[in-house]
Amino acid sequence: MPNNNSAVKRMRRSAISRERNKAVRSEITSVRNEVQAVMGGKEADAAKKVFSRYCSVLDKAAKRGVIGKNTAIRRKRRASQRLAKVAAT
């Protein structure tokens, strides 16, 4: 348990941040699953739209500090490589 007022406030702020970060991570996961499903279907136009949304979600999460900048870059790079394979076929 917290021993002073600042620790109480920090605990409260941590709980709020944890909930917010959990929501962002959940959104990343659901959009990533959507990307994988669309890329499995071999539809290039739909894949590009979903890929764009995925990049946007990753960039926003990195900007807010939910995930690291390099993590966002790595995930976008891997998704773009999969998109290139779909577009090539």
| CATH number of the domain enclosing 17 | 1.20.58.110
Overall domain count for the chain: 1
| pLDDT score, position 61 | 97
pTM of the model: 0.86
Question: What is the domain range of residue 58?
Answer: 5-88
Is residue 89 over pLDDT 80? no
Residue type, 16: I
Q: How many Cα atoms occupy the beta-carbon half-sphere of 53 within 13 Å?
A: 17
For 29-79, write each residue's pLDDT tens digit.
999 999 999 988 777 888 899 999 999 999 999 999 999 999 999 999 999
Q: Tell which residue, 22, 25, 14, has the closest CA to residue 72.
A: 25
